[in-house]
Chain A
Amino acid sequence: QKEVEQNSGPLSVPEGAIASLNCTYSDRVSQSFFWYRQYSGKSPELIMSIYSNGDKEDGRFTAQLNKASQYVSLLIRDSQPSDSATYLCAVDEGGGYNKLIFGAGTRLAVHP
């Protein structure tokens, strides 16, 4: 059973701080990794994808991938109250079928 594990939170950070979200996955052959953001009552929205070991930066977001440790993380710099949402880590099962295995999500709360 392929699994993606996330701490459910809530992760509470003050406005302006760095929020660090972590995810581990069980399938060593996975090649594609994604972070989705889901606001309450809304559908998931893709915010980052990462395919190679190392860091990938996009604005205030940085995704980090370590395939040897089977670990993916998302850093949100200068956190804003509007970042308060559930962040879903997803791993592509492979085979080119868009079959993503999602973690349960980490709820982030950014307080003013």
Chain B
Amino acid sequence: KAGVTQTPRYLIKTRGQQVTLSCSPISGHRSVSWYQQTPGQGLQFLFEYFSETQRNKGNFPGRFSGRQFSNSRSEMNVSTLELGDSALYLCASSLRLAGGLNTGELFFGEGSRLTVL
């Protein structure tokens, strides 16, 4: 069974540009979450999608956005990049249990490492 696939793995952008990151979840997983990991702040929740709907959002500015497609694949976008956006962006997929609750057991992709110059 294929794991969570994220593309691109590495990218370098300059301030003011925008970036789009892509995530394909594990087959059968309908919940996709995005996290940002930096040495200073650790792992921080960005947002979670299920059935093409954003169900929860972390404490990040509106420059950070995302979407989910009908096949559960997800993208996140960061506009007007700042130096502080340099980070590892991790996508995680999860099963959604009957009854509507997620397990909280996340399966992470290898991440997209963004460097903003």
Residue positions of A touching B, CB distance < 8 A: 32, 34, 42-46, 49, 88, 90, 92, 95-105
Contacts and interface: CB of A to CB of B under 8 A. Distances in A.
A49 B90 contact: no
Interface stretch (B12-20, B62-70, B72-80, B103-111): B103-111
Interface residues of B, number: 26
B43 A99 contact: no
Contacts of B35: 102
25 contacts: A42-B110, A43-B90, A43-B108, A43-B109, A44-B90, A44-B108, A49-B103, A49-B104, A88-B43, A96-B100, A96-B101, A96-B102, A97-B56, A98-B92, A98-B106, A99-B33, A99-B56, A100-B106, A101-B45, A102-B35, A102-B42, A102-B44, A103-B42, A104-B42, A105-B42
Given A43-B110, A95-B56, A100 B90 contact: no
